[in-house]
């Protein structure tokens, strides 16, 4: 398989550029995930290798406050079906709001059904 530069990758290696995973970051971000569906939803963080790490299950209309980092992706899955929910019409949430002494507000992230 070709690498980024078009040359073949070393034998046995894979090009994982398209794997969704957390990036190293020192920029904290404060978020509130709000389940705006009528379903139970698993809040899932994608770690540094791209593996899914279940953070919490939210029942309908529940919320959880999370201290995360810029560059860390989150996904939201229906507990029963595994269907991916959305935030702001996207099926992956990645914060871009940096916490600072001047900006201590928590970003509200509404989780909704994909069809809404």
Structural domain containing residue 43: 32-111
CATH number at residue 106: 2.60.40.780
pTM of the entire predicted model: 0.78
Report whether 111 contacts 33 (CB < 8 A). yes
- Domain-located, residue 57: yes
Res 1: pLDDT: 33
- Domain-located, residue 9: no
- Domain-located, residue 81: yes
Domain count, the chain: 1
Per-residue pLDDT 10s for the chain (116 aa) are 333 444 333 333 333 446 899 989 888 999 999 999 999 999 999 999 999 999 999 999 999 999 999 999 999 999 999 999 999 899 999 988 776 666 678 899 999 999 85
């Amino acid at each position: 398989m070709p690498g980024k530069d078009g040359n073949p990758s070393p034998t046995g290696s894979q090009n994982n550029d398209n794997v969704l995973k957390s990036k190293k970051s020192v920029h904290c971000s404060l978020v509130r995930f709000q389940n705006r569906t009528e379903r139970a939803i698993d809040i899932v963080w994608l770690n540094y290798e791209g593996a899914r790490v279940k953070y919490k299950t939210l029942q309908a209309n529940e919320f959880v406050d999370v201290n995360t980092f810029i560059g860390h992706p989150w996904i939201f899955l229906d507990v029963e079906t595994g269907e991916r929910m959305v935030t702001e019409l996207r099926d992956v949430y990645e914060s871009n709001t940096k916490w600072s002494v001047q900006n201590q507000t928590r970003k509200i992230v509404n989780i909704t059904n994909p069809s809404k």
